[in-house]
């Protein structure tokens, strides 16, 4: 039995009962970036599809954004913070190294009955959190889980590096999961997949600021605690891994591409999104894209997109929705949800 299998043992079906998202007010447009680095609106839109991204205020932290997204998710399903047993936060830009961002959010929400921890799987984090929550709930260990992906990437971007600074933005998304009471019903998570290839850790990383290379007075000018990416190679792996991960969950859910009403991919690059959809034989009108508004918000991207797609009616009761992500690690993940 494969490690990723959803049918290794009998478990309770798990459903998503609420979603929420939040993005900060400030917009940073391509025109603004033209004044900061040697770039152009034409290059950014043609190579990535991004028009603008949101930037959090200096005193607005990852936990603040995550809390707002979580509150909206709870409102959407009518639950109170005390109803939550488990909070999992996916982030690469925690408020502090310790305690975890999930603990700040637990406090801000007043979710005093919840165990709270963070996971680090970069842009794939939201679906790693989803799979983790599905296991806790599916095995009967927890009843209600709140998963949150929140990022303040503006604090880890090198604003002098045009090859990365045009790509990223800030924001947060959240979802509430519970055991399904009867047969697989609305919002059921039908299949999930997660994977990693640590041998490619150097394609996309924040090399400094951790125990491997702490920031010191001597190296501070090198900006090692900022995002560095080998874009071309990362692009190729993103297409291959996202296609394979999405295909595996579609198959394990007993579906084909024709049964999918909407695919919501990680929003890193419009060309990656289109290439993945094409390789899965999913037509453009079934692909959710909001990269033009927010850029790449890492773990938060697919969570924000999922909430926006739900609220705008892009999918409805009985629809099969595929979420698929890819990020640093390398990591990748996918899920099929029957709404
Ligand atoms: O979220 C996690 C996963 N992330 C991804 O999957 C991202 C994957 N990578 C990408 O999306 C793309 O590789 C990028 C958008 C990052 C870059 O696009 P590209 O088409 O791969 O461009 P490139 O890196 O091959 O650069 C092409 C040219 C270079 O100039 P020369 O050497 O051909 O003269 C760059 O210097 O574009 C230049 N360039 C820029 N020009 C204007 C790079 N960045 C910029 C810029 N503005 N911002």
Structure confidence by residue, pLDDT tens digits, 211-251 = 999 999 999 998 999 999 999 999 999 999 999 999 999 99
Beta carbons of 97 and 199 less than 8 angstroms apart: no
Q: Is 33 in the pocket of ligand 1 (CB under 6 A)?
A: no
Q: How confident is the model at residue 4 (pLDDT cuts 50, 70, 90)?
A: low
Tell me, in angstroms, the distance from the centre of ligand 1 to residue 130's CA: 31
- The crossing angle, in degrees rounded to 10, of helices 270-279 and 41-48 is 20
- Smallest Cα–Cα separation from 238: which of 265, 263, 208, 212? 265
Q: Using the 8-state DSSP alphabet, how is residue 260 labeled? A: -
**Is the minimum distance from the CB of 199 to ligand 1 under 6 angstroms?**
no
Return the bridge partners of 324, or none: 265, 334
Instruction: Report CA-CA distances (Å) from 108 to 25, 100, 111, 185, 251.
Output: 20, 13, 8, 32, 40
Per-residue pLDDT, 1: 40
Q: Is the peptide bond before 3 cis (omega within 30 degrees of 0)?
A: no
Question: Could you give the percent of the chain with pLDDT greater than 70?
Answer: 96
Q: What is the pLDDT of residue 181?
A: 75
178 lines ligand 1 (CB under 6 A): no
The finding on whether 235 has its CB within 6 A of some atom of ligand 1 is yes
| Helix locations, 194-327, DSSP H | 231-252, 270-279, 291-294, 299-311
Residues 6+ apart with CB under 8 A from 59: none
Q: Which residues pair with 116 in a beta bridge?
A: 87
Instruction: Report CA(196)–ligand 1 centroid distance (Å).
Output: 24
Q: What is the pLDDT of residue 2?
A: 46
Residue among 53, 162, 163 whose CB has most ligand 1 atoms within 8 A, to mutate: 163
Count CB atoms within 10 A of the CB of residue 189: 27
In this predicted model, what pLDDT tens digit does every residue of 172-214 receive, in sequence order?
Answer: 999 999 998 765 567 799 999 999 999 999 999 999 999 999 9
Eight-class DSSP state of 81: G
If we measure between CA atoms, which residue out of 220, 196, 197, 218 comes closest to residue 208? 220
- List pLDDT tens digits, range 98-153: 999 999 999 999 999 999 999 999 999 999 999 999 999 999 999 999 999 999 99
Q: Cis peptide leading into 99, omega within 30 of 0?
A: yes
CA of 225 to the centre of ligand 1 (A): 20
**Which residues does the annotation mark as catalytic?**
123, 266, 296
State the average pLDDT for the chain: 95
Distance 295 CA to ligand 1 centre (A): 14
Separate counts of helices (H) and strands (E) for the chain: 10, 13
């Amino acid at each position: 039995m494969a490690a990723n299998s959803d049918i290794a043992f009998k478990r309770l079906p798990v459903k998503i009962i609420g979603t929420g998202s939040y993005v900060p007010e400030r917009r940073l447009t391509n025109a603004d970036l033209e004044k900061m680095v040697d770039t152009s609106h034409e290059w950014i839109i043609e190579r990535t599809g991004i028009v603008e991204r949101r930037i959090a205020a200096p005193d607005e932290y990852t936990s603040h954004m995550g809390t707002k997204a979580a509150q909206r998710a709870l409102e959407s399903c009518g639950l109170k913070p005390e109803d939550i047993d488990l909070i999992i936060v996916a982030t690469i830009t925690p408020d502090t190294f310790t305690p975890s961002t999930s603990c700040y959010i637990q406090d801000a929400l007043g979710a005093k009955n919840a165990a709270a921890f963070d996971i680090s799987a970069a842009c794939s984090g939201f679906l790693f959190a989803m799979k983790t929550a599905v296991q806790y709930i599916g095995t009967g260990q927890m009843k209600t889980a709140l998963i949150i992906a929140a990022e303040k990437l503006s604090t880890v971007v090198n604003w002098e590096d045009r090859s990365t600074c045009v790509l990223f933005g800030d924001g947060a998304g959240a979802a509430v999961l519970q055991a399904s009471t009867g047969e697989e019903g609305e919002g059921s998570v039908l299949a999930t997949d997660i994977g990693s290839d640590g041998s490619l850790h150097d394609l996309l990383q924040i090399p400094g600021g951790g125990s491997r290379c702490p920031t010191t007075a001597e190296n501070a000018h090198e900006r090692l605690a900022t995002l560095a990416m080998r874009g071309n190679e990362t692009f190729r792996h993103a297409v291959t891994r996202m296609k394979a991960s999405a295909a595996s969950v579609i198959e394990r859910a007993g579906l084909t591409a024709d049964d999918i009403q909407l695919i919501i991919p990680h929003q890193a690059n419009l060309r990656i999104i289109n290439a993945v959809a094409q390789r899965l034989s999913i037509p453009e009108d079934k692909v959710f894209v909001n990269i033009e508004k927010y850029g790449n918000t890492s773990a938060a991207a697919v969570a924000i997109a999922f909430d926006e797609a739900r609220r705008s009616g892009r999918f409805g009761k009985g629809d099969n929705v595929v979420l698929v992500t890819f990020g640093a690690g390398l990591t990748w993940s996918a899920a099929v949800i029957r709404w």
